[in-house]
Every structure is written in C-alpha cells, then in structure tokens.
A and B are shown apart, each in its own frame.
Chain A
Amino acid sequence: MPAARRAVLRLTHGLVWVLAIAIVLFAVSPLRAADDRLPDAALVRLLQEGRVAAPGACAQSGIDRLIRILCAGRIRIGVRDRYPLFGTRKGEIRQGYEVDVARAIAQKFGVDVEFVTVNAASRIPMVTDDRVDLVIATMGHNAQRDGAVLFIRPHYYQSETTLVAPRGLAVADWPDIAGQTVCVTVGNGSNAEIVSRGARLMLFDEAVLLPDRLRDQTCTLAAQDDSFFASYFTEPRFADRFTQKFGFAQVPWGMAVARDGSERLARALDLLGQIFHRDGVFLDFARANRISTGFLERQTAIWQRPECNTDAGSTNPACILPALSARLQPTSFAEHIAAFESRFAAWTGIDLALPMLKTTSAWSLFQNGVVNSLVLIAGALAATLVVGLAFGVALGSRFRLVRWPVRGLTIALQSSPIVLTLVIAAAVIRPMFAYSSAVALIAAIAALGLSNGSNAGQAISEAIVTLRAERSTSPMPGMELFSRALGRSATQIVAFLINAAKGTPIASFIGAPELLSALTDIASFSSGRVTIYSLLLIFYTAVVMVVVWICGRFRAFLERSHPPI
C-alpha cells in the first residue's frame, strides 16, 4: 500500500475516533448537567465547601453551624426520650424513628452525634439558646413556631388527631360523633374542631390517661395525636379491642434549627430530607419502628418526581407542605381584654384570664352558651309547671284509669337519677329528629320538666286528697278544689321549680350547648380554666338566686290567689 494511501487511512481513523468521542461527550453532557442539579450533588458540594473552609474558619466567630459541626466533628441533636416509637431511652441506649433519623444525618455529614434530651416545652428554647444544633422532637410545624425557629423542608413526618374507639362502635365519620362524649387533653389544638362537630368533651390533663380510660370504659371515644397512640396499637390486647376510626387535623412535623447562623446547615438538611424521602430512607426507618407510613409513602412518590428531585425542590410549593395555621381569629376587642387582664394582675396579683372574650370562636361559643342557658332555664321552669299541673290533675283524679298510669310514671321518674332521665330523653328524641343543638335543648327541657314536674304534681295531688278529706261533707267544685290545692302545695311547687333551674347545667351531659358546655369547650383549647369555672359558678349561682326570688313572688301570688282553707 502506498504511503500516501496509508496516511489517508490513518487520518480517516483518527477523524472517526474524534467524531465518536465528540458524539459520546455530546450525548452525556445533559446527564451531567442534570446530575449537577440533583440534591445529592448540591449536598456534596455544600459539604465539600464546608470541609474546605473548616480548618481555617473553625476559630472564627459567627461561622455557620454547618462549619462548626464539621470543625467539631459532632452534631448536637435534641430528641425526646419518653415518646414511644419515636424517641425513647433505656440507660444509654436510645431508640426510635427520630433517633434513627438523627444518626443517619450525622452519618451523612461524617460526624458523631451527641444526643440531648428535650421535651415539648424545652425543644425550642434549646435550639434558640444554642444548646443543640438541631431538634428532631415530635414538633408540629405551625405558623406561630416559624417565628422562633427555622423549619427544615421537606417535613420528616406527619401526624394527625385520631379518634380511637372500641372496634364494635359504629363510628365512621363526623356525623357519627355528634352528641357523643370524646375524651381529650386540655389545650389540644384540634379540640375546637371536635366541638364544632357537635361532640361534647371530657377533659384530661395528660394524654397518658386516655388509653387507661378507654380500657376501663370511662371513655368510649378518645381523640389524640396518632403518634401517641401508635405505641399502644403495637400491643395486641389494645389493638384487639380498639381501632382508629378516622383522623383529622393533620400536622406536618419538622426538624428545626436556630434562625440565626444556620443558613448552610438548614440548606444541607433540606437537601438531605429530599434525598431521604426520595430514596425511602425515612420510610425504612418508619417501618423498622412500626409507626404509620402512609404520609411517608406519599412523600416518597412526590420526591421521586423530576420537578421535585432537584436542588430547588425544597422551595417548590408543589413539592413541600405549608405550615399549619393554628392561630385563632382574635375578637375586635381582644387587645382591650388583654390590657385589662394585665392591669388586674398588677392591681391584685391575681392572674385573671378571659379567653372567652379574646378569640372569635370562643366569644361565639360564650354568647351562645349564655343565651342557651337562659332559654334552658326558662324552658325547664315552664315544663316543670306544665307537667306539675298535668300530673297533679291526673294523680288527683277519681278515675283509676287516669290515676294509676300517671302514678306508675311518677314512681319511675322519681326512681330515675336525673342523668339517666336526660339520656333516656335524648335517646328517644334522637331517632325522631337529626341531632342539633335545638334537639338537645328540647330533650333536656323535657327531662328536667318531667323529673321535677312529676314531684310537683305529686305534691298538688296530695293537697287535693287532703282537701277532699277535709271537705268530705261539703265537696268543692273541681276548679275551686284544684286552685286551693295549688295554694296549699305552693311551697313544694316552688321548691321543684328552683330544683329544675339548678339542674339545667346537667343538660351539658347530653350535648345541650349551654354555658357549662360552652365554657368546657373554650377551656379545652385555651388557658384560664380557674377563671372560666369561677365565672361559671358565679353565673349559675346568681341566676338560680334570681329564680329563687322570682319563685318566691310566684309562691306569694299562689298563696294569695288560692288561700288554703
């Protein structure tokens, strides 16, 4: 082969190789660009920059916490130590979902982890006072907390308030709990929602009491964070008896760092959170610790989507969840009330709290409670009087067919504790009408009227019998006999009218939205229980004293109009 031809062939081969390499490079370059935009690459860059800066910057003041952590070779993480399945401690051994997450973060940063125990009250101060670098401590992310600490996005878990009840209880959704008693803890943010659905609340100070009260049947329904009940549902005996009926009020949980000096640390944790969701790391930890995985499964799918799986994913509103807005709407005069509370405390040294006047939802409950209480008292008085007169006529009748059934009913009503009479009235009236506040009020008025009216009626009938006996030689006409019997039994009638008025607060037991019920609801989501119940006692005692005064005038009228013989 001539030398010139060989040279042409070599040149051709060379050009082919160059062309092939160029084609390959051209084909691969978009992938490299895409890889550069993945959270993984951004995290590697961030950590590399930190490690490069670390030796020189370690002694400087005001450095970002990420650099400080890399300098120290350890990260201080605040975790719970008595929150089953999420953060527990036996001796030096810590376990739980959040503990696993903390260890994984430290491993990714290439540093040691130093656990610091925090609780619900101390977790935010520990971060803001720089006693921990990061908290992973069952903390719900709400708008109010955004002002105190910097929350990491995406959220690493989500809890919800769950309604737990015996398996056999027919409760599937909100309509089924109207009128039922739900056991809750004071101050739980979701209590307001339960109240708005027509349930009545039984308040407890601590969540740990709820499972026991379910077991001993004090509570039929209990509402609490599902993360709290998670450990109980790992107990076969508890899980066999109870089940989660439905959940509501979802709250995303966030890791948090200090707002100042944590920009790079927060960025690194944002990226790490994305990676952990995308790769199912959070999910694996959740399964290992036997906690609910529904939220994490959905998050894994979200963070695998191309538009979320980027270094900007943690700021993409389509990928992240908003903070919960738990702030209650203040009333127009809330500031004046707060100022009055402060002045009162300064004058007297007594902490007066008037939460019923400070938020619109509490103010509305309070107003309705006062009006409903007055309606209930008026209704109970009227019902007692009507039932008393009717029973009096029937029991005083000469006809056995009229007298005996009413006597039987009177004995039954006298033998039934008022709580039971109320429940029976509510049980009978509910199948006829859909539950509403008005239905509960009507049932309560009927029960109080029957219970007290039957006694008043018996007093009237006894007066009729004695009058008949005294006037056996010259019988009186029916109306005259009845009116004189009223005069003779006036004291008893008035006593049972007062009793009916005093008994009205018990209507809250069947969900009647009177003042006791309203203030219990307000106390469940606000502070100031002492003031609330003191005011309640003053209100009802004052109202009953007014009723006593009115009834005294009524008795005087009866005795004047129908003087006893």
Chain B
Amino acid sequence: MNPLFDRLSSDFLPRFLGGVVVNFEIAGIAIALGLACGLLLAVARLYGGVVGAGAAGVIALMRAAPTFVVMFFLLNAIPRDASLFGVPLALSGIMAVALSLLPYAAAYIADAGVDALEQLRRGSPLGSLLFLPNVTRAFFVLVMSSSAGAAIGVPEGIAIILRQAEQLPSLGDKLLLFAVGIVFFGIPLQAGFAIMTLFQRRLSRAVMRDRAAPRQSA
C-alpha cells in the first residue's frame, strides 16, 4: 500500500466524502436561489425602460462582486444576534458561502435566462432549452467555487483535505494528497461538463433542424 494512505487518519475518506456532499449542498442552495433571483432579473431586463436598465445595473453589480469578499461581508456585516420580525438573521457558514455565490449565480442565470426568453419570443422552444445545460454548467462551477468555505471553517471537501495535509510531514505526501483531491473533484466535474456538452450539441442540432424545417416546408 502507498505510504501516504498509511499516514492518513482512518476517518479521512468518510470525512472527505462528507465534505464533498457539503460542496454539492452549498452549490444546490446557491443555484436554487440564483434561479429565483436570476429569472426575475431576466424578466425585468427584457421588460425594457427604467426597469430593464435597473435590472441591467443590478446584474452588472452582481457580476462584479467577488465571491470571497461577499462571503466575508455577509459573515461580518450581519451581527450574530440580528433578527428580523423575531427570525434570527445570523448565517451559518454553509449559508454564508451559498449566499456569497448568489451574485454570480443570479447574474449568470439572468444572462442565460435573457437568451432563453428571447429564443422563446422568436418561437424556438427548443432553443430556449439550451438554458438547461447552461444552468447545469453553472452548478458545477458553483460546486468548485464552494471550496471558498475552507477560509471560514466550513467542513467542505477541500477544507478536509487541507486539514489532513497539515498533518503530513513531507511536501511530496501533501502534493499526492492534493492530487487525490483534484481527481475526486475533477471526475464529477469533467463528467458533468462532458455530458452537458454532449446534450448541448444534440440540442443545438435539434434547434438547427427545427429552424430548417419550416423553411423547407415553405
């Protein structure tokens, strides 16, 4: 057996897998909230006029807000004992990371949503379905970005790896452990991207056929 695995604590693997689940949990919350906010913004942007300009401004701000800074802002700007109508507002670490990813998710989904709604207006429901792979792609980006939680003590996958690495004596062992982490994160990510690319290509072909068919019939 590789000496690295002898040096790892016995509960490393279950804790790491549990941490990866936390990454997916954070990404799930962020994408759900991002869908709600992003679609509203997309509709507002297509509404035009002042509302549309306002929505475009909000999307630009959200696009520019760095996730890491938003996370620290949320953690520090909201007092621990703050409440609204008796409901405590203090955020858990997981919620702080998820909400810090919200600006990115909402801005991305707003952009993709505008495209999808325009496709619908043009009478191409299949074209608007391209929204789905875009959202899935955003979800995988969010899974990767959720590792920012390591900086505030959220027990996600990368945090577990970093804690374990601090116990390893040599740089070689640490790099090997990091490589294991990359593989564990990379497999679902690359697989997810590959499936989405495949799905997107098929959908694009279907869209092209869909657009070509009326012309032929005409």
Contacts of B60 in A (CB 8 A): 545, 548
Q: Scan residues 134-178 of chain B and give those whose CB is less than 8 A from a CB of chain A.
A: 144-145, 147-148, 150-153, 155, 158-159, 161-163, 165-167, 171, 174-175, 178
- Decide: A530 and B76 in contact? CB cutoff 8 A: yes
Shortest CB distance A344–B (Å): 17
How far in angstroms is the closest Cβ of chain A from B192? 11
Number of A-B contacts (CB under 8 A): 131
Q: Which residues of A contact B64 (CB under 8 A)?
A: 502, 541, 544-545, 548
Q: In the complex, which residues of chain B have a beta carbon less than 8 angstroms from the beta carbon of A544?
A: 64-66
A218 touches B155 (CB 8 A): yes
Q: B22 CB to closest chain A CB, in angstroms?
A: 13
Task: Kindly state whether residue B120 has any CB partner on chain A within 8 Å.
Answer: no
Contact present for A533 and B76 (CB under 8 Å): yes
Chain B residues with CB under 8 A of A423:
162, 165, 178
Contact A420 B181 (CB under 8 A): yes
Interface of chain B, main secondary structure: helix
Interface status of A415 (Cβ within 8 A of chain B): yes
Query: Once the chains bind, are B182 and A415 in contact (CB under 8 Å)?
Result: yes
Q: Is B48 an interface residue (CB 8 A)?
A: no
Residue of A218, A412, A416, A529 most packed against chain B (CB within 10 A): A416
What is the CA–CA distance of A534 and B72 in the complex, to the nearest angstrom?
A: 10
- Give chain A residues whose Cβ lies under 8 Å from the Cβ of B65: 537, 540-541, 544
Q: Does B50 lie at the interface of the complex (its beta carbon under 8 Å from any beta carbon of A)?
A: no
Determine the distance from Cα of A416 to Cα of B167 in the docked complex, in whole angstroms. Answer: 21
Which residues from chain A contact B69 at a C-beta distance below 8 Å?
A: 505, 516, 533, 536-537, 540-541
**Majority SS at the chain A contact face:** helix
Q: Which residues of A contact B61 (CB under 8 A)?
A: 541, 545
In the complex, whether B24 has a CB less than 8 A from a CB of chain A is: no
Which B92-110 residues sit within 8 Å CB-CB of chain A?
none
A424–B172 CA distance with the chains assembled, in angstroms: 11
CB distance from A165 to the nearest CB of B (A): 10
In the complex, how many angstroms separate the beta carbon of B129 from the nearest chain A beta carbon? 23
In the bound complex, residues from chain A placing their C-beta under 8 Å from that of B152 are 202
Least CB separation from B154: chain A residue: A218
Known pairs A169-B166, A218-B155, A503-B66; A416 contacts B72 (CB<8 A): no
Residue of B nearest to A504 (CB): B66
* B205: A residues at CB distance < 8 A: none
- A sample of 17 more A-B contacts (CB under 8 A), given A428-B175, A544-B65, is A213-B153, A219-B153, A416-B178, A418-B144, A418-B147, A419-B162, A420-B162, A427-B171, A427-B175, A505-B66, A516-B68, A520-B72, A529-B76, A530-B77, A541-B64, A541-B65, A548-B63
20 pairs of residues in contact across A and B, judged by CB atoms under 8 Å = A213-B153, A220-B163, A415-B182, A416-B181, A420-B147, A420-B158, A420-B181, A423-B162, A424-B178, A505-B68, A516-B69, A520-B72, A529-B77, A533-B69, A533-B77, A534-B77, A537-B69, A540-B66, A540-B69, A548-B63
Chain A to chain B: the 6 pairs with minimum beta-carbon distance, closest first: A415-B186, A417-B147, A218-B153, A544-B64, A505-B68, A419-B147
